[in-house]
A and B are shown apart, each in its own frame.
Chain A
Amino acid sequence: MRERQPEQYLSLLLQARSGRLTRRQVLSRALRVGLSSPAILSLLAACAQQEGGGAPTPTTAPAAGATPAPSGPRLSENRDFVILFSGGVPDLDPQSAYDNQASALFLACYEMLIRLKGESTFDYEPMLAREWSHNDALTEFTFKLAPNAKFHDGTPCDAEAVKASFVRFRRMERGPYNVISRFVDNPEDQIEVVDPTTFVFKTPKPEPLFLAAIASEYGPLVVSPAAMEQHKTAEDPYAHEWFAQNIVGTGPYKAVETLQQERFVFERFPDYHSEAPFFDRIIARVVVEDATRRQLMESGEAHGCAYFNAEDLIALKQNPALQVIDYETTQVNWIRMNYHKLNTKARQGFAYAWPYQEVLDKVLLGYGKMINGPIPDTVIGYDPSIPTYTTDLQKAKQLLTEAGVKDGDSFTFMYAAGSADTAAMAQLFQSNLAQIGITLELQQVDRSALIELNYGDAPPEERPHFTASGWWPDYNDSWNQLYPNFHSDSVGSKGSNSSFYQNPEVDRLMDQLQVATSEDEIRELTGKIVQIMTWDDPAAIFWGQITRATVLARDIRGFIPNGIYIASYNFHQMWREAV
């Protein structure tokens, strides 16, 4: 940690100067990396300079058609913003899709009530709601909507419409519905409409995380109830099939083309309730090949992409026509271990055989760091006292022998084709195991096949021994990271627990964690869970906390990355400078 201080200082300084961090964030991060007091003071000074208006670059988009100030930056005439995805988006229903790329699209056309502000994971700014407040007991959360809010189908978005949308989200029980179900079990009664623009969420107990959850980009987006009524059927009372292919939200852009495996075109929504965004059109293209995405960015045909491997990112940083924006995230990557096929000692042994340092240094080229479990150090509940695994093949061999694994035994590792980084990691793991006499058969499958297997109903006996995976929470909370992945209620199609991890003690602690109210309690319970899941009864090989990067054309301004809204864009604040 100590050797990295200068670069961490530099990174913090740059972020402070560019206005991407608040004073509070700078202070907390600086203390976390152990910077000296003079260094922290200089960082805060940089922050103050920024906050005092010293920055030349605005971070919010100039209004569409606005005349630039004579001394300010000149706005470009090019008002198209083209982004690249690495795969199709099969489900466009924002209350059903649990898909990172889908969420990136939704931030153009749908809206949550509030959204995370800047890089913060606990400060909020308006989205569909203009104002919000809560009582001291944290049991009533009042939202006031923009009076002129309309859906893309022309119907008004009033408090009743928002309530109907949340009822749909909760009752449909698809995808990310645990984001709301944790707080709202009975939406018809718990959401009270006060007047056409005001409504209140009422919770039976204090919910300090409610606002964080409601700002998640997974699920609590508002859809048009009129469209639902129009397209629902007896078999599909929530019109999910229709919403899976059509978009009717309140966002600043409305969809004009949705070719789900090819491209999406959005045009500015003229009746948007807030200030019009800078870009006239957002175009999202599906480009599966890494090399083609890179070529499109380099040629200037595309202006934003969040899907590059580490090798490409390093190369793209040398390109003066592009900017590569690295940011810390809440994402932890892991290798799931089949709980039913591998006993505890075998799982411990395999955890020692993973090539941790080689993967982080040579494959991810620094786009990741060691982590001691499923909870990243950016999420509440992280416990730094839990030790981290390091590669130790002798120890691995000893544990695997004790587990009954014999020389020549064969195991299977499944991962999605298309990621050079994952393929390299898998082969390094395979090589380590070969050194201790164990055969690892690699199975590259299509991303969709892996997702189908992970979230399907196949019994654990029919699943591979290992699968490559990763996760980040819907909002900054350790329970939200753990429950879908490791609770026994979430096995198979009931969640994301595809390795069928079922530890009664972990379940019990997770249930306590769900209702914990203080940060200390959350940290204590999370620490206990992580200790078990990492060391006592390993659930997975937790090999790294990921740093992500978004590549943008050099002239794009206003982009603010967020460790929760990973690989998404704050379209409404972005703009292009004439250069």
Chain B
Amino acid sequence: MTAEPRVQRDQRPLVLEVAARQARRRGPLAWLLTFLSQSPLNVLAMGLILLFLFLVIFGDALAPHDPVKPDIAFKLHAPSTTYWFGTDELGRDILSRVMSGAKYSLGIACIILSIALIIGVVVGAIAGYLGGLVDEILMRVTDLFLAFPALILAMAIAATLGRNLQNVVIALIAVYWPWYARLVRGQVLSIKEREFVEAARAVGAGPGRVMLRHILPNTTAPVIVQLTIDVGYAVLATAGLSFLGLGAQPPIPEWGTMIAGARTFFREAWWYITFPGLALTLTVVGFNLLGDGLRDYLDPRSRRQ
């Protein structure tokens, strides 16, 4: 349960971008098929992710029972044909809560990373492109955020702002954006010295156009790889904060909150803690496998290593 990246982002090999560009040229479907054919794990990852993304969108609508309304006459019923995943201490269907909870756990992780990405890209691009004093100031601010252990910082922010999901989003954005700022800055620093950027400048392109048309598009591949890996960790961090009581509050069926509620009953009702735990595990595994698969696919050199 950490929000820290697992690789040194500034040193990502340039070959990544080249491979990504080549892949894109072949068309998205062909690219996807080629990617999936590389490894059965890629198929598994994609399957898991599609399943959970489907639940994010349709989970509420397809839930067989009301995920929120208690029906205490059915409390802690074991899995059965009526309640496939059993019921919780208030008689609510755990399957319905897991399905409905996808939009809180996974959906919120996606929102967190989207916003963190936007902030990180803007800060990283400005710092990398302008350099000098601006770079120094922005990077020292970034270092300030990176200096704290990620989850501790998130806990401190969430606890200070108040216990709800909105504040978890703010806390985790604060944790994640510096990593993207660092990554994009590193990419921009290396790309801005390349010949095609020089050529664009030589023909009169302004800084905005150079950045938006020539530099940033070439930073996407490593960012996407990192993003896929981080989704899993962001889901874990969201669930972790909710587990600690800092995130989603009852009756929201967020997976971390469900696991926290199930702790008391795990001896009598194994199903209560198992299914939200399984949903969380599979989501994280799915995104990690996808991230690894993408990195291997886009960067053959790292796969050989």
Contacts and interface: CB of A to CB of B under 8 A. Distances in A.
Contacts of B76: 311
Interface in B87-116: 89-90
A426 B261 CA distance: 13
Interface string B257-272: 0000101111110000
B302 interface: no
A315 B265 CA distance: 10
Given A362-B75, A363-B72, A444-B250, A312 B90 contact: no
A442 B162 CA distance: 12
Contacts of A311: 76, 89, 264-265, 268
A444 B264 contact: no
B263 A428 contact: no
Contact of B250 (A291, A426, A445): A426
Interface stretch (A157-165, A257-265, A416-424, A478-486): A416-424
A393 to B, nearest CB: 14
Nearest to A314: B268
A320 B70 CA distance: 34
Interface string A284-322: 000001110010000000000000010110010000000
A427 B249 contact: no
B72 A362 contact: yes
Contact of B265 (A420, A426, A444): A420
Interface in B223-269: 245, 249-251, 261, 263-268
Contacts, number: 58
B249 A443 contact: yes
B263 A430 contact: no
Interface string A397-441: 000000000000000000001001001101110110010000001
Interface residues of chain B: helix, strand, loop or mixed (majority): loop
B268 A423 contact: no
A312 B249 contact: no
Interface string B41-78: 00000000000000000000000000011101101100
B268 A445 contact: no
Contact of A442 (B73, B249, B263, B265): B249
Contacts of A442: 249-251
B267 A431 contact: no
B265 A445 contact: no
Interface string B192-235: 00000000000000000000000000000000000000000000
A431 B265 CA distance: 21
Nearest to A291: B263
Contacts of A427: 70, 90, 250-251
A275 interface: no
A358 interface: yes
Contacts of A309: 264
Contacts of A294: 267
A294 B73 CA distance: 25
B9 interface: no
B264 A445 contact: no
A423 B261 contact: yes
Contacts of B245: 417, 444
Nearest to B269: A311
A291 B264 contact: yes
A426 B245 CA distance: 15
Contact of A444 (B68, B73, B89, B163): B163
Contact of A431 (B69, B73, B261, B268): B69
A417 B260 CA distance: 11
Contacts of A315: 267-268
A238 to B, nearest CB: 35
| Interface core residue of A309, A358, A427 (most chain B CB under 10 Å) | A427
A424 B249 contact: no
A443 B76 CA distance: 24
Contacts of A289: 263
Nearest to B92: A427
Nearest to B66: A431
A168 to B, nearest CB: 38
A358 to B, nearest CB: 5
A290 B163 contact: no
Given A311-B89, A362-B75, A442-B250, A428 B264 contact: no
A423 B251 CA distance: 10
Contacts of B250: 423, 426-427, 430, 442, 444
B163 A430 contact: no
A445 B89 contact: no
A290 B266 CA distance: 11
Interface centre among B76, B163, B251, B264 (most CB of A within 10 A): B264
A428 B250 CA distance: 11
Contacts of A423: 250, 261
A418 B265 CA distance: 13
Given A362-B75, A427-B90, A430-B251, A291 B70 contact: no
A299 B133 CA distance: 63
B66 to A, nearest CB: 10
Interface in A265-286: none
A420 B250 CA distance: 12
A294 B263 CA distance: 12
A426 B263 CA distance: 18
Nearest to B244: A417
A424 B261 CA distance: 10
A430 B267 CA distance: 27
A478 B69 CA distance: 39
A424 B163 contact: no
Contacts of A358: 72
Contacts of A431: 68-70, 251
A444 B164 CA distance: 10
Contacts of A420: 89, 261, 264-265
A9 to B, nearest CB: 29
A566 B68 CA distance: 36
B296 to A, nearest CB: 41
Contacts of B73: 362
Interface in A332-376: 358, 362-363
A312 B267 CA distance: 9
A548 to B, nearest CB: 18
A444 B249 contact: yes
B263 A424 contact: no
B75 to A, nearest CB: 6
Nearest to B162: A443
B89 A291 contact: no
B89 A424 contact: yes
A309 B261 CA distance: 13
A443 to B, nearest CB: 7
A270 B70 CA distance: 57
Interface in A444-471: 444-445
A368 B231 CA distance: 46
A291 B266 contact: yes
Contacts of B68: 431
A312 B68 CA distance: 24
A358 B249 CA distance: 22
B276 to A, nearest CB: 16
A362 B71 CA distance: 10
Interface of B: 68-70, 72-73, 75-76, 89-90, 163, 245, 249-251, 261, 263-268
> Top 5 nearest A-B pairs by Cβ distance?
A420-B264, A362-B72, A290-B264, A417-B245, A431-B70
16 contacts: A289-B263, A291-B264, A311-B265, A315-B267, A315-B268, A362-B73, A420-B261, A424-B90, A426-B250, A427-B251, A430-B251, A431-B68, A442-B250, A444-B163, A444-B249, A445-B163
Interface of A: 289-291, 294, 309, 311-312, 315, 358, 362-363, 417, 420, 423-424, 426-428, 430-431, 434, 441-445
Given A289-B263, A434-B69, 4 more contacts: A311-B89, A424-B72, A428-B72, A441-B249
